[in-house]
Amino acid sequence: MRIAMVSEHASPLAALGGVDAGGQNLHVAELSAVMARAGFEVVVYTRRDDPGPPERTTTPQGYEVVHVPAGPAEQVPKDDLLPHMGDFARFLLRDWTVKRPDVVHSHFWMSGLASVLAARELGVPVVHTYHALGVVKRRHQGTADTSPPERVPIERALGREVARVVATCSDEVFELARMGLPRSRISVVPCGVDPEVFTPLGPAAPRGALRRVVTVGRLVPRKGFATVVAAMKRLTDTELIVAGGLSEPSLADDPEARRLLAAARDAGVQDRVRLIGRVSRAEVPALLRSADVVACVPWYEPFGIVPLEAMSCGVPVVAAAVGGITDTVVDGVTGLLVPPRDPDALAGALRTLLDDPALRDAFGTAGADRVRARYTWDRIARDTAHAYQRAGVAAARLPEPVGAGEAP
């Protein structure tokens, strides 16, 4: 079976941590790898944003990446890419006319638009994952939302046009229902974690005598890092490590980094708050294992991969009760959930775990068990293949898990 993955702004080859490089890049890369490992032919189409790489390259994981010429071959903010989706769709149509895929899996709304335009003429079913919804972004960001005005109506139209929608969490299903999409046309398939990489056993990043809270993600305001900094004022004998943004030598040029450092100075905790910049994927597990608690408190979150990675490492989580996090973190079992933008509630939850090593151990063990039962990429691939089958792709079949157990 030939699968065309379309991810217009989020290349699976991109370095994570930039403003437009995060969970979607990882999702496309890992899903493509496990599908290729299962014997499917997988081709990922992403917009060329650099003149250097070849048009087509085969990754060590066995899937192919095609750099589509659509717009300038340079970095362009994703919210400015809509005018180039016509060229993107025309390239897809030419390529798929030569070698027709059995199914198209589009990621993000502009990929969905280009995929539907190209696949319509060939009669290829399109399965779509939104990754984030414009109505949710507008609700939380208001006038700061830089999405083009066409986004919301296009997302509604996509829901009616595609063969099936793959939502990443139950909260997204609720939002799609509000948009008028029937529940019967939606499959829920979360993001995944590699439990052989994010494991409780392994090296931990160096640390001192202070208790440690770690938070990881793109340095953008909605990720809620300022809330964690504010909570530090209410904690003693505790340091905060913030990973994300530019690499450390250039971190001073990052406006969000400057804002967070100013907030730490204003709160009088600048000596206990350390911004370490972008951390490579290979370094993330050791950083998470060095934490007593991992904090993840965005204002809103379409899914949220960091809590899962921390749980997989056996580290308890304090997280905001928003979006997909309410599916992954079981309050009082694998971590604690708090309201977003509430430093007092966050500080209280962090203090509860920091003061109780036995509770941290119990939450960590339950979190690792939950990831291995529900959130491995093999499980995600099987669920995705089932969604392809529900879209009418008979060839999409992966072996069922053997001996998979339940978890908290």
- Report, as an integer, the average pLDDT of 193-214: 96
Q: Beginning with the edge strand found earlier in the chain, give each strand of the sheet holding 317-320 in spatial order.
A: 273-277, 238-243, 211-216, 293-296, 317-320, 335-338
pLDDT 10s digits, 313-362: 999 999 999 999 999 999 999 999 999 999 999 999 999 999 999 999 99
For residue 342, the model assigns a pLDDT of 98
For residue 403, the model assigns a pLDDT of 40
Q: What are phi and psi of 181, to 5 degrees?
A: -90, 125
pLDDT at 178 over 50: yes
257/253: higher pLDDT: 257
Per-residue pLDDT band for 20 (boundaries 50, 70, 90) equals very low
pLDDT 10s digits, 120-148: 999 999 999 999 999 999 998 888 889 99
CA neighbours within 13 Å on the CB side: how many for 218? 17
For residue 407, the model assigns a pLDDT of 53
Burial tier of 406 (Cβ tally within 10 Å: 0-12, 13-18, 19+): exposed
Torsion 306-167-42-64 (CA) sign: negative
For residue 141 the two structure tokens come to: 């960001």
Contact 337, 171 (CB under 8 A): no
For residue 190, the model assigns a pLDDT of 94
Tell me the average pLDDT of the chain.
93
Per-residue pLDDT band for 404 (boundaries 50, 70, 90) equals very low
Structural domains in the chain, sorted by start: 2-192+376-390 (3.40.50.2000), 211-373 (3.40.50.2000)
For residue 348 the two structure tokens come to: 């209280």
- Tell me which amino acid residue 220 is: V
